[in-house]
Structure 1
Amino acid sequence: MSTIVITGGTDGLGRALAADRLGAGHTVIVVGRSEAKFRELARNGDAHFFQADLREVAENLRVTKEIAARFPVVDTLVLGAAYVHRDRQVTSEGFEHNFALYYLSRHIFASRLQEVLGAAERPLVLDTTVPGAPQDAVHWDDLQLERGYTWKIANLQSRRLGLLSALRLASDHVRYVLYNPGFVRTSHQGALGKTSRAMVGILAKVLGTPPEKAIRPMLDLIENRPETPLSAYLRGKRVELDTATSAEAERLHRETARLLEKPANRT
């Protein structure tokens, strides 16, 4: 049996994946905000819960430290935490919401759990950062998007940053997959207005794939991990990665290290 860590494992895709793995007898570690939702999920099986707001760097650092201390081997890390803000929001630590949740949190988990992943026989990072953002999506001089913010700009930037981070962290031993699950019939967590939420709900019912079905290609990747260090998939189909250089990845690594060294509540 294996050990799997799932961020965003109390709703939608992550919840369905956690339920499947528990049913198959694996150890499942769920990271999320709602312990009540976890209790409903974890009635059977070897389940563990770490409560955290993954928009906060301090919370990511705390939880990854606790996981590494309690679980010396992690076979699979699934990065799926999601929460939509259409307008620009800033965390208590001064980071733009999308940058914090969709880039920094994933980067911290994938980097801080490298040792316990490395201890597994065939470790895999399965990251729901959707590939396909253009090369010019990163605003190097304004990573927190204080100027000209739109949700689309923030989304594209976080996706490109995810690719660059994955490029640096993937290896011959720890494989890294950027995974696009497509449109999944979930609760679509986020600060959406009534009209937007109603429209998303209708589209989900008509076009969305049920989570229990949407996880099947993910399960196949977990059981049969790709042979290359870094790869990208749209559901069960492999797709070409955008061109990204190690120089860009190193630049992001240096900038991220600098940002993480700053104290909380920056001005």
Structure 2
Amino acid sequence: MNQAGGPMAGRTVVVTGATGGIGKATALGLAAMGARVAITGRDAARAGAAAGEIRAAGGQVDVFVADLSSQAEVRRLAEELLRELPRIEVLVNNVGGYWDTRHVTADGLERTFAVNHLAPFLLTNLLLERLKQSGPARVVTVASNAQSMGRIEFDDLQDERSYSGSRAYNQSKLANVMFTYELARRLRSTSVTANALHPGMVSTAFGAEDPSVIQRLVVPFMRPFMKAPDQGAVTSIHVASAPDLERVSGLFFTKSKPMSSSAQSYDETAAARLWRVSADLVGLGAAA
């Protein structure tokens, strides 16, 4: 049930990848707290259905359709969001995926890195001025504990030499955390915060397009022990809305509490390098 005077009343929240799973549960939860939510998804029918659920629960919702594997689509989405939303108090970078075999995007980039890291990197940068104008504002990026197994392979970011779905995924999730920490450093003198989080092991359709052997054989047996999407969204909702986090920035949350991420994630030199490389790959160059 929507709370007109709820803790998020009057605030606009953008949630990417919100047509199912954790993203939809995050949007539903924040709408129930009074936020106006803008959801993005690549399938118009699924986005419409998700919006219908949010409206049925009494929430305010706007729908934006975009395939975030394409930089042109990310840029178009940003333009539409800026045109339609006078204020953006929270950006939840939720979109993500896992592909067991190597796929290349329309931009000629490896899909896991493009969707999981470059899309939120580009979208955040394109919306940053609006977030600053709307401050206090928050950038919340859904990472994963897989970051602890990740390595940023600067000599082979696109996994052209050899591809492993899990290695590509782990790298992208470490990139999410390093991006968050670098963004927090860059936003230190502003009223915009940046935090990342691990949602937990959640039962969703994650990886269903191109599953690994483990996902096909093991996950069905693990599902009874995995969190439901609404449980998986708890930390995202907390980091996006908790009043006591208004000035808290540059942290990694698990179970709604700040936790240490991997030693590599705190390498400021590598994070600055990743930012420069990412900016070049998405065409932001020195402007970022």
Instruction: Quickly name the TM-score band, shorter chain normalised.
Output: 0.7 to 0.9
1:207 aligns with 2:225: yes
2:18 is the alignment partner of 1:9: yes
Q: Conserved in 2, the CA contact under 8 Å of 1:166 and 1:176?
A: yes
Once the 2 structures are TM-superposed, how far is the Cα of residue 131 of structure 1 from its aligned partner?
5.0
State the partner residue of 1:176.
Answer: 194
Alignment match of 1:57 (pick from 51, 71, 77): 71
Q: What is the one-letter code of the residue matched to 1:19? A: L
Query: After the TM superposition, which residues 69-148 of structure 1 pair with which residues of structure 2 at under 5 Å, given as runs?
Result: 69-130=83-144, 133=147, 137-148=151-162
- SS of the residue aligned with 1:30? strand
State the partner residue of 2:62.
48
State the aligned residue count.
261
Per-residue CA shift, 1:126-176, capped at 9, x if unaligned? 111125636981111111110121112212221222222222212332211
What TM-score do the two structures reach when normalised by structure 2? 0.82
Q: Over aligned residues, Cα RMSD in angstroms?
A: 2.3
Call closer, same or farther: CA 1:249–1:8 in 2, change over 3 Å: same
Q: Structure 1: which amino acid aligns with 2:255?
A: R
SS in 2 for 1:49: strand
Q: Which amino acid aligns with 2:176?
A: G
Q: Contact 1:90–1:96 at 8 Å: present in 2 too?
A: yes
Q: SS of the residue aligned with 2:156?
A: coil
Higher helix content, 1 or 2: 2
Are 1:179 and 1:234, in contact at CA under 8 Å, matched by a contact in 2?
yes
Residue in structure 2 matched with residue 265 of structure 1 by the alignment: none
CA drift of 1:197 comes to 3.9
- After superposition, the C-alpha distances for 1:8-51 in whole angstroms (9 at most, x for unaligned) are 10101111121222333321111111222222222323211111
Q: Aligned residue for 1:255?
A: 277
Match of 1:163 in 2: 177
Taking a change above 3 Å as real, the CA distance of residues 215 and 259 of structure 1, as seen in their structure-2 partners, is closer
Instruction: Say if 2:30 is the partner of 1:21.
Output: yes
**Structure 2 CA distance, aligned partners of 1:150 and 1:193?**
12
Corresponding residue for residue 205 of structure 2: 187
Q: For 1:235 and 1:75, locate their aligned partners in 2 and report how far apart those are by CA, in whole Å.
A: 23
* Structure 1 position 193, deviation (Å): 5.2
Pick one of 229, 236, 240 that aligns with 2:256: 236
Alpha carbons of 1:148 and 1:231: their partners in 2 closer, same or farther (altered >3 Å)? same
Segment drifting more, 194-203 vs 92-101: 194-203
CA separation in 2, counterparts of 1:167 and 1:237?
A: 16
The aligned amino acid for 1:14 is G
Contact 1:110–1:169, Cα closer than 8 Å, also in 2: no
Q: Which amino acid aligns with 1:164?
A: M
2:168 is aligned, of 154, 161, 165, to 154
Contact 1:184 1:208 in 2 (8 A): yes
Residue 29 of structure 1 aligns to a residue whose secondary structure is strand
Equivalent residue of 2:240, what SS? helix
Aligned letter for 1:234? T
